[in-house]
């Protein structure tokens, strides 16, 4: 059984990513992501994700209340999510980190 993993990173800490958790279903991962988004933005601005078509990775790029870019990634491939976050990190702090 594949698990859905939820990752988070923000420009505020140079996109140092973290895994928030693992879930049995995509719906559980989305619910957790939406709950975590409440820390970053007004609830009225949180996307609904009502009709998600999941193909290996769902990346959501947003801006938090302080103007920093943030990313949430739901995936079954943690390596791919970490690679995406590492690319963002390299862009902000350079190739030699």
DSSP, residue by residue, 40-64: TS-GGGS---TT---SSEEEEEEE-
Residue ranges in the chain whose pLDDT is less than 70? 50-51, 53, 95-97
Which residues have a Cβ under 8 Å from the Cβ of 89 and sit 6 or more positions away? 9, 14, 15, 16, 17, 97
What's the alpha-carbon Rg for the chain, to the nearest Å?
13
The pTM score is: 0.86
**Distance (Å, whole) CA 73 – CA 30:** 10
Helices marked H in 1-97 — which ranges?
Answer: 26-37, 78-93
Domain boundaries, the chain: 4-93
C-alpha of 68 from chain center:
14
């Amino acid at each position: 059984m594949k698990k859905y993993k939820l990752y988070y990173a923000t420009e505020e800490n140079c996109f140092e990513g973290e895994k928030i958790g693992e879930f049995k279903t995509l719906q559980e991962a989305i619910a957790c992501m939406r709950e975590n988004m409440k820390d970053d933005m007004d609830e009225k601005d949180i996307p609904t994700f009502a009709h998600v078509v999941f193909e290996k990775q769902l990346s959501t790029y947003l801006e938090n209340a302080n103007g920093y870019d943030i990313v949430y990634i739901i995936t079954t491939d943690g390596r791919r999510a970490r690679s995406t976050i590492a690319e963002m990190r390299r862009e902000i702090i350079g190739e030699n980190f």
